Amino acid sequence: LEPLYDRLHEILPKHAQDVKEFRAAHGGDTLGILTVDMAYGGMRGIKGMVTETSVLDADEGIRYQGHTLMELQETLPRGPGGQEPLAEGALWLLLTGELPTQEQTTLLSKELARRAELPHHVVQMINNFPAELHPMAQLSAATTALHSESKFAKAYASGVPKSKYWELTLEDSIDLIAKLPVIASMIYRNVFHDGRTVGTIDPDKDMGANFASMLGFSDEGFIDLLRLYLVIHADHEGGNVSAHTTHLVGSALSDPYLAYGAALNGLAGPLHGLANQEVLSWLTKFKTRLGEGDDWHANLTKQRISDEVWNTLNSGQVIPGYGHAVLRKTDPRYTCQRDFALKHLPDSDDFKLVSMLYEVVPDILLEHGKSKNPWPNVDAHSGILLQHYGLTEMNFYTVLFGVSRAIGVLPSLVWSRSMGLPLERPKSMSTPGLKAFVAAA
């Protein structure tokens, strides 16, 4: 990984120095007003942390190191025979801020393949999990158990200087990103296919192709979908639950395995990453109500969709896959997937259903009058693409999100350690304290 280290040794210290000078000049400038509602409202709108890898604009969506996802689909290196960008390219970009060459991307593919092996105790642990344990709980537990491999934790215990933290964080991060597809595939094969393994890692293939093979899929379309999936789910700036958790736990100098294990527990929540499973489950129940077996689409009308959406809302539940804490327009991650569907499965009935929902749901959410954003997010689309290629086990969908999210939030952790960011510790207040504060103001 020498070329990556060489670049990072040039980029990160320079950036840390730039931050130091910026803080010296503007450290006392204010970033906005804090209100009582913000304190109760999940800290929405508070500019209270720094994340260098990506920034989310409410209208435009996410940019990785300044690049939109559409741009990355054009510019990042692609896999052999494929049309979608490689996750390794996104990883290089998120780590360095620079678009990688094909050679740099291949270097990372080979490195990830080389580091993929799991320690025996983690293999044993995964094989001992009961099939009923949700795949996300298995993924987070196995990730946490990889703590045994942490180079950061070992070096910290032996007194490594602070200036070396980012290098050790990088080492652990690359190791973890390499091992996650293996863990995920083992969970998939154990829970849904009696533990029968199929593919192994080929050092000449990319992360998406190897992951697909270990899951048991060889279709070129699926491999390309997985590559796209790994890229678009990687990063969504710093405040979302999984990114923020990684940042928070990492700020205690817990190693990347412990920090990301914690993040996965947040990703497993239905308002965050589990929404992709919730969407599929909602669609499946709706289809069953529409008709027996494959006949459902004959009865699909906008009126039936509208009735179903209102029933869900009137029973006090959210419409999974719609709304967002920051976005105020259709999520470009949704649009990437819609474009993929238009290219590869335009005649799919499931795609037609998802497209009709897109036409119907926003108006209903606006009429319902609660959600600040009536538009679909990333999770509204991913499930039906996976279904199309035969990955039908919806309880597994968030695990795929978990493999991808590491590619964004761990580079962010590397940047945080290189800047020497401190333990995160915002001030909390009690209601009597807030009342006293506003009374005195």
Distance of closest approach, residue 371 Cβ to ligand FAM, in angstroms: 4
Distance of closest approach, residue 356 Cβ to ligand FAM, in angstroms: 17
Whether the Cβ atoms of residue 164 and residue 173 lie closer than 8 Å to each other: no
Nearer to ligand FAM, 108 or 225 (CB): 225
Question: What is residue 317's three-state secondary structure?
Answer: coil
Nearer to ligand FAM, 166 or 322 (CB): 322
120 is catalytic: no
Q: Enumerate the H helices of 216-348 as residue ranges.
A: 220-232, 241-251, 256-267, 275-290, 302-314, 332-344
Q: Rule CB under 6 A: which residues touch ligand FAM? A: 240, 271-273, 275, 313, 318-325, 370-373, 377-379
Residues 6+ apart with CB under 8 A from 26: none
Nearer to ligand FAM, 193 or 372 (CB): 372
One of 67, 233, 324, 381 is an active-site residue; which one? 324
Distance of closest approach, residue 401 Cβ to ligand FAM, in angstroms: 7
CB-based closest residue to ligand FAM: 323
272 is catalytic: yes
One of 233, 236, 272, 381 is an active-site residue; which one? 272
Distance of closest approach, residue 373 Cβ to ligand FAM, in angstroms: 6
Distance of closest approach, residue 367 Cβ to ligand FAM, in angstroms: 12
Question: What is residue 322's three-state secondary structure?
Answer: strand
Strand ordering across the sheet containing 67-68: 54-57, 61-64, 67-68
CA distance 16 to 360: 48
27, 53, 95, 407, 410 from 414: Cα distances, Å: 22, 10, 8, 11, 6
Nearer to ligand FAM, 225 or 275 (CB): 275
Nearer to ligand FAM, 16 or 313 (CB): 313
Distance of closest approach, residue 87 Cβ to ligand FAM, in angstroms: 18
Residues 6+ apart with CB under 8 A from 119: 146, 148, 149
Distance spanning both ends of the chain, measured CA to CA = 56
Nearer to ligand FAM, 187 or 325 (CB): 325
Nearer to ligand FAM, 215 or 380 (CB): 380
Whether the Cβ atoms of residue 47 and residue 237 lie closer than 8 Å to each other: no
Distance of closest approach, residue 58 Cβ to ligand FAM, in angstroms: 12
Dump the DSSP string for 47-77: -----SSEEEETTTEEEETTEEHHHHHHHS-
135, 285, 299, 354 from 296: Cα distances, Å: 29, 11, 6, 14
Which residue bears the tokens 């693409």?
385
One of 224, 235, 350, 379 is an active-site residue; which one? 379
- Supply the residues annotated as catalytic: 272, 324, 379
